[in-house]
Amino acid sequence: IQTKWRGPEPFAGDQCYAPLPDSGFGKQYVKNLAFYREGLQPWQRGIEIGMAHGYFIIGPFVSLGPLRNTPEAATVGLLCGCVL
């Protein structure tokens, strides 16, 4: 029995397409992340990734912490982020 080729199977493991990662926007976004960007030194990648994660750690302490309405909020947020 000879079967005809009907094109790529959409649910095969090697041909599975997702709308976001396979779109132009998703590929450009991933290409611009510090981990995948070409031309950066390893220490530059580490600083950029560390600064981005630092905002995620310190930010909630500064804006949602118990001292958020005081002038010391940024200092206390930084100390809490360092302790964490």
Amino acid, single-letter form, for residue 3: T
65-78, pLDDT tens digit by residue?
899 999 999 999 98
Q: Which helix (H) or strand (E) holds 30?
A: helix 24-31
Amino acid, single-letter form, for residue 10: P
Supply the mean pLDDT for the chain.
84
CB of 51 within 8 A of CB of 71?
no
What integer pLDDT is reported at residue 59 of this predicted model?
87
State yes or no: pLDDT of 15 exceeds 70.
no
Find the mean pLDDT for residues 1-18: 71
What integer pLDDT is reported at residue 37 of this predicted model?
87
Distance CA 41, CA 24 (A): 26
Q: HSE of 48 in the Cβ direction (CA atoms, 13 Å)?
A: 12
Distance CA 83, CA 12 (A): 47
24-63, pLDDT tens digit by residue?
888 888 888 888 888 889 999 999 888 888 788 888 889 9
